[in-house]
Amino acid sequence: MSFYDKVLYSDQVGDYFAETDMKRQIDHQTKFVAFIMGGPASYSDDMLRRVHARFEISRADFDEVATLLRTTLEEFDIERDDIDTIMYEIESRSPVIISG
């Protein structure tokens, strides 16, 4: 079961995504992961803060999604180093994403 399924079935965070336009969500996540892996996209902290603010995301919510992402990446046999890089980059943005 891939990441979007996991997130949506999660009781902790699923409701946040219930009304999400998946096409846009996938677009953002593709670009975001490309960005933190050094790809051709950019997301400033300001931008991340702005788009997440209205959800009042808690530390527990953040950790849940991060864990689901890590599990998914592991399931797809992504290189350990790459997973660590992605998770590190995501964790470093927790202060701007968590607001609840």
Find the helix or strand (DSSP H, E) in which 69 lies.
helix 59-75
Q: Which residues bind other proteins (CB under 8 A)?
A: 2, 4-5, 8-9, 14-15, 17-18, 22-23, 26-27, 30-31, 34, 39-41
CB of 27 to other proteins, least distance (A): 4
Nearer to other proteins, 26 or 47 (CB): 26
CA distance 10 to 70: 14
CB of 6 to other proteins, least distance (A): 10
Cα dihedral 64, 26, 16, 55, rounded to 10, equals 90
